[in-house]
Homo-oligomer: A and B are copies of this chain.
Amino acid sequence: MLSESLLATRTNNMGSSAIREILKVVAKPGIVSLAGGIPAPEAFPMQHINKLTQLVLEKYGSTALQYGTTEGFMPLREALVEYFKGLGITSTAEEINITTGSQGVLDSLAKIFISPGDPLAVEAPTYLGAIQAFNPYEPNYVQMETDEDGLIPESMEEVIKKHHPKMVYLIPTFQNPTGRTIPVERRKKIAEIAKATDTLVIEDDPYGQLRYRGEFQTPIKVFAPDHVIYCGTFSKIFAPGLRLGFYLAPKFVREWLVKAKQGVDLHTSSLSQTLATEFLNGGYLENHLPKIIELYRPRQEAMLNAMEKFFPDSFTWSKPEGGMFIWAEGPKGMNILELYNEAIENHVAFVPGKYFYTDKGAGEETMRLNFTMADEATITAAIERLAQAMNKVVTR
């Protein structure tokens, strides 16, 4: 019999499934899950997709089904130049590459930069999917401190000086899991630190377009174009099932990322790429994005209002201006698994925040709440039931 003894040493680093175990109960009938992190199906442009697919097949014919280049479908890369212009980022089509979800570039980045044991700096807390992408390459994670305004630049500077990380991974806007956004002054500081220390910064921006109030914050990429890799995705603004991401990176990084991607999947789905091309060029994004925002904004408001009304005083939480998540923190010493079990009893699920930290023992009293998947009434009722569970656990 073949056995696990055949496995590579790196696979030790890929095993953690504690979060999967805890989230299994979420699938039970009757549970309202605030644990998810996916867009509402109502946010997809279903009314346009038939027309879009027909258009794509007429316009691009067999190209939509044929092998393509690893770099990406040129008309899509051209269309993204305009998209980037909207973010204040100057680019050319040649500088933009397409990936299979933004997950794809995270894997390739770790593949080309991380030797086992290399330091990799991440926000505390950070995106779980990034950790899953990085883990097989056996990085040595270094946590950087955050507050209500996201990453604290001084902490980044300290970590860079002490550990010389191969890269600094950030989600500056509506961060997963906290929902927090780094304000522009801090972004400028981060850019200055990256330039002064010659540090590579990954600016992962899946949620930036989902702004419900407040002002657009210029990407860090703008302030340090040679040091920042900007990663975007169609998952939150078009459809995640198409598995479409894109990035803008310095030349030598881009060339290695393309080589890495070629080994992984040759190229990204041509059909997905042609659809996204027409989604951008036909003005669909412009028309559709406000509808997504109008769907999510009241859901987020419902959650924030219900938290204000029902949560015990001993809890604090983020008030994001967009994105998909709210981050809550209970009183010091609270047992989060006890709360989780009480919440499930009350038919509500969330993600305990500790899974988003690379350091063990961090974030014990924290939790991530998602508001995109349920309507306002359901969210309000779920938050009330969660608050009841909190009151039970906290006063015990």
Residues of A at under 8 Å CB distance from B?
A: 1-4, 6-11, 14-15, 17, 38-39, 41-42, 44, 46, 49-50, 53-54, 57, 61-68, 100-101, 103-104, 106-107, 111-115, 118, 129, 132-137, 166, 198, 200, 226-227, 235, 239-243, 250, 252-253, 256, 259-260, 262-272, 275
| Shortest Cβ distance from A100 into B: residue | B265
Q: Across the interface, which residues of B come within 8 angstroms of A53, CB to CB? A: 50, 53-54, 57
State the 7 A-B residue pairs at the shortest beta-carbon distance, nearest first: A241-B270, A41-B62, A65-B239, A132-B263, A8-B115, A65-B241, A133-B263
- 26 A-B pairs whose Cβ atoms sit less than 8 Å apart in the complex: A1-B226, A6-B166, A7-B112, A8-B111, A8-B115, A11-B111, A14-B256, A17-B259, A41-B63, A44-B66, A46-B57, A46-B62, A49-B65, A53-B53, A63-B241, A65-B240, A65-B241, A66-B239, A66-B241, A67-B241, A68-B241, A100-B100, A133-B264, A135-B263, A242-B271, A269-B271
Given A103-B264, A107-B264, A136-B263, CB of A38 within 8 Å of CB of B11:
no
| Cα distance A231–B283 in the bound complex, in angstroms | 40
Residue contact A250 to B2, C-beta cutoff 8 Å: yes
A3 to chain B, nearest CB (A): 8
| Shortest Cβ distance from A273 into B: residue | B241
| Cα distance A258–B48 in the bound complex, in angstroms | 33
| Number of identical monomers bound together in the oligomeric complex | 2
Residue contact A252 to B8, C-beta cutoff 8 Å: no
A99 to chain B, nearest CB (A): 9
Residue contact A49 to B57, C-beta cutoff 8 Å: yes
Residue contact A264 to B264, C-beta cutoff 8 Å: yes
Q: Across the interface, which residues of B come within 8 angstroms of A111, CB to CB? A: 8, 10-11, 136
Q: Across the interface, which residues of B come within 8 angstroms of A39, CB to CB? A: 66
| Shortest Cβ distance from A274 into B: residue | B241
Contact of A269 among B118, B264, B269 (CB under 8 A): B269
Given A8-B137, A113-B6, CB of A243 within 8 Å of CB of B264:
no
| Shortest Cβ distance from A65 into B: residue | B239
| Cα distance A259–B271 in the bound complex, in angstroms | 26
Which among A3, A15, A136, A253 has the greatest number of chain B C-beta atoms within 10 A?
A136
Residue contact A57 to B68, C-beta cutoff 8 Å: no
Q: Across the interface, which residues of B come within 8 angstroms of A46, CB to CB? A: 57, 61-62, 65
Known pairs A4-B252, A11-B112, A42-B62. 18 more at Cβ < 8 A? A2-B198, A2-B226, A7-B256, A10-B115, A14-B263, A39-B66, A41-B65, A44-B65, A49-B65, A50-B53, A66-B241, A67-B240, A100-B269, A103-B263, A129-B263, A241-B271, A243-B268, A265-B265
Residue contact B243 to A7, C-beta cutoff 8 Å: no
Given A62-B41, A241-B68, A264-B264, CB of A256 within 8 Å of CB of B11:
yes
Contact of A265 among B8, B103, B266 (CB under 8 A): B103
A213 to chain B, nearest CB (A): 27
Residue contact A8 to B243, C-beta cutoff 8 Å: no
| Shortest Cβ distance from A106 into B: residue | B263
Q: Across the interface, which residues of B come within 8 angstroms of A266, CB to CB? A: 101, 103, 129, 243
A264 to chain B, nearest CB (A): 5
Q: Across the interface, which residues of B come within 8 angstroms of A3, CB to CB? A: 252
| Cα distance A235–B66 in the bound complex, in angstroms | 9
Q: Across the interface, which residues of B come within 8 angstroms of A137, CB to CB? A: 8
